[in-house]
Amino acid sequence: MPRLTSPPPHIRFFFPFFSYIPCVVFLCFLSHAAESQIQDQELQVLSKLRQSWQDPSSLDHWVASNSSSHCAWPEIKCQEGSITELNLVNLNINYSIPPFVCDLKNLTKLDLSYNNIPGEFPAVLYNCSKLVYLDLSQNYFEGPIPSDINRMADLQVLILAANSFSFDVPASVARLRRLRILHLYMSEYNGTYPEEIFGLSDLEELRLEYNKKFVPSQLPQNFTVLKKLRDMEALEHLDLGINPLTGEIPGSIFALRNLSELYVYETYVSKSIPQAVRAANLRVIDLSLNNLMGNIPEVFGQLKNLYSLNLEFNQLSGGIPEGIASLPALSDVRLSNNNLSGTIPPDFGKFSPLRRFEVAFNNLTGAFPEQLCHGGTLFGLATMNNNLSGELPESLGNCSTLLEVMLNNNGFTGKVPGGLWMSRNLTALLLSGNGLTGELPKELSRKLNRIEMSNNKFFGKILSTVSSWRNLVVFDASNNLLSGTVPAELTVLPSLTTLLLGQNKLSGILPTDIVSWKSLNTLNLSHNKISGPIPSEIGFLPGLTQLDLSDNQLSGLIPPEIGQLNLNRLNLSSNRLSGPIPAKLENAAYDTSFPNNPGLCASNSFMRINVCNTQSHRLSKTNLTLIVILAIAAAMCVLLVVLFMIRASRKNRDWFDSTPKLTPFQRLNFTESNILSGLKGPNVIGSGGSGKVYRIVVNSSGDTVAVKRISNNQKLNEKLEKQFAAEVEILGNIKHRHIVKLLCCISCEHSKLLVYEYMENGSLDRWLHKKKRLSPILGVANNMILEWPKRLQIALGAAKGLCYMHNDCSSPIIHRDVKSSNILLDSEFNAKIADFGLARMLAEPGEAVSMTAVAGSFGYLAPEYAHTTRVNEKIDVYSFGVVLLELTTGREPNDRDEDMCLADWAWFHFDQGKPISDVIDEEIRDNSSLDQICNVFKLGIFCTAKLPSTRPTMKEKFQHKLDAAPFLGNSKYEEMPRRYFHVLECNTY
Ligand SMILES: *[C@@H]1O[C@H](CO)[C@@H](O)[C@H](O)[C@H]1NC(C)=O
Ligand SMILES: *[C@@H]1O[C@H](CO)[C@@H](O)[C@H](O)[C@H]1NC(C)=O
C-alpha cells in the first residue's frame, strides 16, 4: 500500500524531515496522556465501585496515591496500565454489582466468590465484552440463570456454584462453546439441565454435584448424546455426585481419553460398572453410595495412575481383582459395605503407597494381607465384619502411621502383634469378636483412647502399669479370660468414660480410692467373682449413669451414697448383698436392680425383693410408755394422712375423675400411669410461664422423658390452651433430628401434659451464661466449658432444624421464639429446637402473617416488630443471628449491665471496624479456630440485619455458608472430603 505510506507531495513540502521530531514527542506525550487518562478513568470506576458497596473495610486500602498506582493493589491486575482482572474474593461485599464495572473495558477476569451478594444473576455483566473468566460462587444469588447467558460468548470459565440459583439450567449455557470450566454445583435448581452440556468439546471441568432438587434424570443414554460425549476429549474432571440421577453409568464416560477424576457418588445409578476403560489417566474413581451390582471391573487393575478407588456402599459382588492390589499409585481403597467375597489379594500395599484400606462389611475370607503398610503411609485400616482368619501379620506392629485399626468381628486368632499396642499415632484399636489371645500390654501408645477387645480369649491380670494408659477413654474387654483383681491403678485414668470388664474371671475386692474416675459414666464388672463390699465412693462419681455389678460375690450393705447418682441403669442382682436398700433407690425404675440377693430387703413390695420386717422386732423391746407415745403418734399420722389424701384427691381430681386421654405420636414404651406417678416434687427440673417441667424415669430400663405440665388448678386459660394446641399440632406432625421429639400428650379437662424425649444436657443458655450456670439442675457445674467445636455443632444443628421448618414442611412453620433457652442439647450436644407454643404455620414460604400481638423474648425480637405486626420467617433468622452472637461472644442477649441489646452492641462494634477477636468469648478465644469463630460472628451480624430482606434465608445455601466456615480463608476447601457436605443436608433427617 505505497499510497498510504508516502504522503502527497504538497504535504511533504510543508513538513520537512526535522519538523517530524516535535511531532513524535507530542504523539508520545499524547499517548502517555491517553494512558494516564485511562488510568484516571479506571481509578474512578474503582472508587465508585467501593462507594456503591458502602465502603467495606476490606477495601480501605483503595485510596489513590502518587507513589503507587491502583494496578499494584492486591485485588487488581493490569496490562499496559489498563485493568484486566478484579479478584474480589471474600471481601464482605454485601451489595449487588453495579453496571459501571463494565466501564473497565479491558476486564477479562472477574472473581467475586465468597461474598454476600444478593439478587438475581447480574446481567449487567453482559456489557463486559472481553470477559473470559467469571466466578460468582459462594454468594446469595437466586432466581434463574438467564436464558441469554450465551451473550457472554467469550466465557471460558463460568463458576456459579454454591448460590441459590433455581429453575432449569438453561440450554444457553451449553451454547457457551468456549467453556473450559463450568461449576454449577450446590445450588437449588429444581428443573432440568441440558444434555447438550455433554458435548462442549473444550470443557475440562464439569461440576454439577450436590443438586438434589433437579428433576430426576437418566445419565445420558441416547445415541446422539453419547456420540457427542465422545467429543469431550478435553474433559478431565467430571463430578455428578449427590444428584437424582438414574439409569446406568454409560460406557462412553470411561471412554473419555483424558478423564482423570470421575465422581458419580450418592445417586441412584444401578446395574453394573462398564467393563471397558479407555481413560488410562484416571486418578480418582468415586462411585460410592449407589445401587451398583456385578463385579469390580478387572480393567481397573490396569489404571497405572489410579490413586483413589471408592466403591463403598453398593451391592458389588465377586472378588477384588488381583491387578488393583499392585497398582503403583494407589493410595485410597474403599470397598466397604458391598457383597464382595473371596480373599483379599495378598499383594495389597506391596507396590503402592497405601494410606487407607477399607473393606469392612463384606464376605471376604482368608488371611490378612501381609504388606499393607509396606509403603509406610497407612493410617486407616478397616476390615471389620468379614470372615477373615489366621494370625495378624507381625508387620502391622511396625506401622507407626496407623491412626485407626478396626479388625473386629472376623475369625482372627493368635496374638496381637506386640508393636501394635505401642503404635505411635494409634487412637483406636478395635479387636472385638475374634479368637485373639495373649495378655494385656504393659504399655500403650500415648494417643490410644479407645480399645475394644471384647469377645476374645485374652487372659492374665490387669497389671498395675495400667495407670500409664493415661488417655484411654473407652476400654471394653468384656467376655475374655482376665483374672486377678481390679487394680486401684485402673481408677486413676482421668479420661476414662466407659469401662466394661464383664464376663471375665476377676476376683478380690474393689478398690475404694476411686475419686479420680471423674469422667466415668459406664461401669460394668458383672459376671465375675468379685467379693467384699461395694465401695461407698462409687456414689461420688459425678458422671456415672450406668452401673452393673451383677452376678458377683459382693456382700454387705448397699451404700446409701449410690442413691445420689442419677443412674439410668443399675444392676446389683445376683450377689450376696444384705440389709435394706437405700431409700432413694426404692423406685420402680430400679425394680429389677436387686433380685437374687437373699439378704436384701425393701420397704415396698414392688421392688421384687423381700419386704423389710424390723418393726415388730423392735416393738417387742419397747416399754409401755413408748407404745402409748407411738400409738398417739400413729393416730396423728393417720389423721394427717387422711387430711392429706383429701387435699391430694382434690388437687389431683382431674387425673382420676375423668380418665386421662393419651394421644401417642410414636410407639411408646411406657403407659400414662408411668407418667402420672412421676409427677412429684423431686422430679421437677424447671418451671416457666406455662407450668412445671419434670424429669421422669418411665421404665425399668431407665428410659427417661421430660414432661411439661401446663396449668395446674384453675381452668386452662385461653392463651395456654392455644399454645398447647400449637405445640401438639406442629410437633405431633414433624419429625426431624434437630427438632425436639414430642412422644405423646395426655389431656384431661383441667390439665395437659406434653411428654418429650429427655435432653441430658439441658438448654443452651445454661451452658453459655455464667449467671445461670449455678443452677444445680441437670448437674451442669459452674466450671463446665462449652468448647468451640461443640458450639459450631450446636449452631449447625439449630440451623438445620430451622431450615427444615421454614422450607421442608408441607406448610412452612415460623417458630417466633427462637432463643438459647429453647435450644436443647442431648447427651452428645446435638441441638434440638423446642417450645413451639408460639409457632405459626404459613401457607407458603415467605408469606407474611399478621400477628395480633408481639410474641417472643426480649433481646431476640426482630426490629420490624416495632412498626408492623405482619412478619415472616425472617424474624426467626434474626433470633437465630442473636443465638450465633451468644455462641461466639458468650454474652447474654439482653444483659442488664449493658445499655444495648447484644445484637445492637455487636453491630456497633463491627461497624466501628474494631477487631472481632476482641469480643469473642474468653473461654474460646485461645483457639486455633479463631478465623472460623469470627466468620460465625459475622454471620450473626448478617442475620440480625435491620431490614428483613437483607437477612439471608435459612435455606441450604445459608447452611453452606455456615458449613463452609471452616474452610473460608482457605480457598482449598473444595478439596476437603466431599463427605463433609452430606451432613449439611437439610431435609434428609
Ligand atoms: C485496553 O488496553 C489497551 C492496552 O492493552 C489500551 O491501549 C486500550 O486503550 C485499553 N482500552 C480501554 C478502553 O481502556
Ligand atoms: C423452582 O424454585 C423456584 C424458586 O424457589 C420457584 O419459584 C419455582 O416455582 C420452582 N419450580 C418448580 C417447578 O418447582
Sequence spans of domains, the chain: 614-651, 654-758, 762-989
Structure-block grid coordinates of residue 829: 450436644
Q: Supply angle C-alpha 237, 241, 245, rounded to 5.
A: 115
Please check whether residue 176 is in contact with residue 149, taking contact to mean a CB–CB distance below 8 angstroms: yes
* Ligand 2 near 167 CB (within 6 A): yes
Structure-block grid coordinates of residue 431: 479387636
Nearest partner of 931 among 968, 960, 902, judged by Cα = 968
Residues in the chain: 989
Q: Are strands 140-143 and 752-757 parallel, antiparallel or unpaired?
A: unpaired
Work out which ligand 1 atom sits closest to the CA atom of 35.
Answer: 9
Structure-block grid coordinates of residue 738: 434437630
* Distance (Å) from CA 7 to ligand 1 centroid: 29
Q: Return the residue whose CA atom lies nearest to atom 9 of ligand 2.
A: 167
The catalytic residues are 817
* Ligand 1 near 51 CB (within 6 A): no
Q: Do domains 654-758 and 762-989 have the same CATH topology?
A: no
Ramachandran class of 98: left when φ > 0, alpha when ψ lies in -120 to 50, beta otherwise: beta
Q: Is the pLDDT of residue 352 over 80?
A: yes
Q: Which residue out of 169, 190, 214, 847 has the highest number of ligand 2 atoms within 8 Å of its CB and is therefore the one to mutate?
A: 190
* Ligand 1 near 104 CB (within 6 A): no
pLDDT-derived band at 971, boundaries 50, 70, 90: very low
Name the β-bridge partners of 78.
Answer: 83
* Distance (Å) from CA 154 to ligand 1 centroid: 18
Q: Which among 188-192, 340-344, 404-408, 918-922 has the top mean pLDDT?
A: 340-344
* Ligand 1 near 82 CB (within 6 A): yes
* Distance (Å) from CA 88 to ligand 1 centroid: 22
* Distance (Å) from CA 144 to ligand 2 centroid: 9
Q: In the chain, what percentage of residues exceed pLDDT 90?
A: 38
Please check whether residue 793 is in contact with residue 829, taking contact to mean a CB–CB distance below 8 angstroms: yes
* Ligand 1 near 649 CB (within 6 A): no
> For residues 441 and 458, what is the distance between their CA atoms, to the nearest angstrom?
11
Please check whether residue 425 is in contact with residue 403, taking contact to mean a CB–CB distance below 8 angstroms: yes
Q: Are strands 217-218 and 237-239 parallel, antiparallel or unpaired?
A: unpaired
Intra-chain end-to-end CA distance of the chain, in Å = 77
φ and ψ of 396, to 5 deg: -65, -25
φ and ψ of 883, to 5 deg: -60, -40
* Distance (Å) from CA 349 to ligand 1 centroid: 58
- Inter-axis angle of helices 956-964 and 788-803, nearest 10: 170
> For residues 246 and 262, what is the distance between their CA atoms, to the nearest angstrom?
17
Q: Is the pLDDT of residue 17 over 60?
A: no
> For residues 272 and 28, what is the distance between their CA atoms, to the nearest angstrom?
70
Residue 811: DSSP 8-state: S
Closest ligand to residue 105's CA: 1
Q: Is the pLDDT of residue 356 over 90?
A: yes
Q: What is the pLDDT of residues 1-11, one digit of tens each?
A: 333 333 333 43
Structure-block grid coordinates of residue 249: 453409568
pLDDT-derived band at 423, boundaries 50, 70, 90: very high
> For residues 243 and 193, what is the distance between their CA atoms, to the nearest angstrom?
11
Spatial neighbors of 231 by CB under 8 A, at least 6 apart, are: 199, 201
pLDDT-derived band at 985, boundaries 50, 70, 90: very low
Q: In terms of C-beta distances under 8 Å and separation of at least 24 residues, what long-range contacts does 456-462 make, across chains too?
A: 456/431, 456/432, 456/480, 457/481, 458/482, 459/483, 460/484, 461/485, 461/487, 462/486, 462/487, 462/490, 462/501, 462/506
* Ligand 1 near 190 CB (within 6 A): no
* Ligand 1 near 773 CB (within 6 A): no
* Ligand 1 near 105 CB (within 6 A): yes
Q: Return the residue whose CA atom lies nearest to atom 12 of ligand 2.
A: 190
Closest ligand to residue 39's CA: 1
Q: Return the residue whose CA atom lies nearest to atom 12 of ligand 1.
A: 105
* Ligand 2 near 215 CB (within 6 A): no
The CATH architecture one would assign to domain 762-989 is Orthogonal Bundle (1.10)
Work out which ligand 1 atom sits closest to the CA atom of 34.
Answer: 9
Query: What is the reported pTM?
Result: 0.64
Name the β-bridge partners of 737.
Answer: none
* Distance (Å) from CA 215 to ligand 2 centroid: 11
Q: What is the pLDDT of residues 454-482, one digit of tens each?
A: 999 999 999 988 888 888 989 999 999 99
Q: What does the pLDDT read at residue 25?
A: 44
Nearest partner of 46 among 62, 26, 22, 25, judged by Cα = 62
Q: What does the pLDDT read at residue 688?
A: 61
Closest ligand to residue 34's CA: 1
Residue 937: DSSP 8-state: H
Structure-block grid coordinates of residue 428: 483406636
Closest ligand to residue 956's CA: 2
Q: H-helix or E-strand containing 387?
A: strand 387-391
Question: What value does the mean pLDDT of the chain take?
Answer: 81
Q: Give the pLDDT mean for 19-26.
A: 44
Q: Return the residue whose CA atom lies nearest to atom 13 of ligand 1.
A: 105
Please check whether residue 862 is in contact with residue 881, taking contact to mean a CB–CB distance below 8 angstroms: no
Q: What does the pLDDT read at residue 955?
A: 59
Work out which ligand 2 atom sits closest to the CA atom of 143.
Answer: 4
> For residues 987 and 449, what is the distance between their CA atoms, to the nearest angstrom?
34
Q: Which residue out of 38, 43, 107, 108 has the highest number of ligand 1 atoms within 8 Å of its CB and is therefore the one to mutate?
A: 38
Nearest partner of 823 among 883, 913, 891, judged by Cα = 883
Name the β-bridge partners of 405.
Answer: 381, 429
The C-alpha cell 490396569 sits at: 302
Q: What is the pLDDT of residues 250-299, one digit of tens each?
A: 888 888 889 999 999 989 999 999 988 888 899 999 999 999 999 999 99
Q: Which residue out of 120, 142, 166, 168 has the highest number of ligand 2 atoms within 8 Å of its CB and is therefore the one to mutate?
A: 166
Structure-block grid coordinates of residue 826: 442431648
Work out which ligand 1 atom sits closest to the CA atom of 82.
Answer: 2
Please check whether residue 176 is in contact with residue 158, taking contact to mean a CB–CB distance below 8 angstroms: yes
Q: H-helix or E-strand containing 323?
A: helix 322-325
Between 641 and 684, whose confidence is greater?
Answer: 684
Q: What does the pLDDT read at residue 10?
A: 40
Q: What does the pLDDT read at residue 634?
A: 64
Q: Which among 528-542, 782-796, 927-941 has the top mean pLDDT?
A: 528-542
Q: Return the residue whose CA atom lies nearest to atom 1 of ligand 1.
A: 106
Q: What does the pLDDT read at residue 966?
A: 32
* Ligand 1 near 106 CB (within 6 A): yes
DSSP E strands in 519-669: the ranges are 522-524, 529-532, 546-548, 553-556, 569-571, 576-580, 599-602, 610-611, 661-664
- Single-letter amino acid, residue 915: P
- Give 569: exposed, middle or buried? Use CB within 10 Å, 0-12, 13-18, 19+: middle
* Ligand 2 near 192 CB (within 6 A): no
* Distance (Å) from CA 170 to ligand 2 centroid: 14
* Ligand 2 near 190 CB (within 6 A): yes
Number of Cβ atoms within 10 Å of the Cβ of 817: 22
Q: In terms of C-beta distances under 8 Å and separation of at least 24 residues, what long-range contacts does 122-130 make, across chains too?
A: 122/96, 122/97, 124/97, 124/98, 124/99, 125/97, 125/101, 125/152, 126/151, 126/152, 127/99, 127/102, 128/101, 128/102, 128/104, 128/152, 129/102, 129/105, 129/154, 130/105, 130/106, 130/154
What is 654-758's CATH topology? Answer: Phosphorylase Kinase; domain 1 (3.30.200)
DSSP E strands in 448-497: the ranges are 450-452, 457-461, 474-476, 481-484
Q: What does the pLDDT read at residue 572?
A: 94
Q: What does the pLDDT read at residue 226?
A: 61
Q: Return the residue whose CA atom lies nearest to atom 8 of ligand 1.
A: 82
> For residues 314 and 122, what is the distance between their CA atoms, to the nearest angstrom?
42
Between 207 and 615, whose confidence is greater?
Answer: 207
> For residues 751 and 344, what is the distance between their CA atoms, to the nearest angstrom?
65
Structure-block grid coordinates of residue 152: 457472554
> For residues 108 and 526, what is the distance between their CA atoms, to the nearest angstrom?
73
Q: Give the pLDDT mean for 900-920.
A: 82
Q: What does the pLDDT read at residue 527?
A: 97
* Ligand 2 near 172 CB (within 6 A): no
* Ligand 2 near 395 CB (within 6 A): no
Work out which ligand 2 atom sits closest to the CA atom of 167.
Answer: 1
Ramachandran class of 637: left when φ > 0, alpha when ψ lies in -120 to 50, beta otherwise: alpha
Closest ligand to residue 189's CA: 2
* Distance (Å) from CA 146 to ligand 2 centroid: 15
Q: Give the pLDDT mean for 800-810.
A: 79
* Distance (Å) from CA 575 to ligand 2 centroid: 67
Structure-block grid coordinates of residue 883: 443465638
Question: Per the annotation, does 708 bind a ligand?
Answer: yes
> For residues 901 and 881, what is the distance between their CA atoms, to the nearest angstrom?
13
Number of Cβ atoms within 10 Å of the Cβ of 786: 21
Q: Give the pLDDT mean for 189-209.
A: 90
Structure-block grid coordinates of residue 907: 453491630
Q: Which residue out of 141, 167, 211, 844 has the highest number of ligand 2 atoms within 8 Å of its CB and is therefore the one to mutate?
A: 167
* Ligand 1 near 87 CB (within 6 A): no
Please check whether residue 108 is in contact with residue 131, taking contact to mean a CB–CB distance below 8 angstroms: yes
Q: Is the pLDDT of residue 175 over 50?
A: yes
* Distance (Å) from CA 102 to ligand 1 centroid: 13
What is the full DSSP assignment across 514-546?
Answer: -TT-TT--EEE--SSEEEEPPPGGGGG-TT--E
The C-alpha cell 427438632 sits at: 739
> For residues 755 and 732, what is the distance between their CA atoms, to the nearest angstrom?
11
* Ligand 2 near 166 CB (within 6 A): yes
Q: Are strands 317-318 and 339-343 parallel, antiparallel or unpaired?
A: parallel
Q: What is the pLDDT of residues 614-640, one digit of tens each?
A: 554 444 444 545 555 555 666 665 666
* Distance (Å) from CA 106 to ligand 1 centroid: 6
Q: Return the residue whose CA atom lies nearest to atom 14 of ligand 1.
A: 105
> For residues 207 and 185, what is the distance between their CA atoms, to the nearest angstrom?
6
* Ligand 1 near 388 CB (within 6 A): no
Work out which ligand 2 atom sits closest to the CA atom of 191.
Answer: 13
Work out which ligand 2 atom sits closest to the CA atom of 166.
Answer: 2
Please check whether residue 256 is in contact with residue 220, taking contact to mean a CB–CB distance below 8 angstroms: no
Nearest partner of 751 among 719, 705, 716, 707, judged by Cα = 716
Work out which ligand 1 atom sits closest to the CA atom of 105.
Answer: 13
Work out which ligand 2 atom sits closest to the CA atom of 190.
Answer: 1
Poorest-pLDDT segment among 16-30, 305-319, 736-750: 16-30
Q: Please report which residue ranges of 712-784 form alpha helices under DSSP H.
A: 718-731, 764-768, 770-773
Structure-block grid coordinates of residue 376: 509406610
Spatial neighbors of 948 by CB under 8 A, at least 6 apart, are: 862, 864, 871, 872, 874, 875, 877, 878
* Distance (Å) from CA 188 to ligand 2 centroid: 9
Nearest partner of 330 among 285, 363, 273, judged by Cα = 285
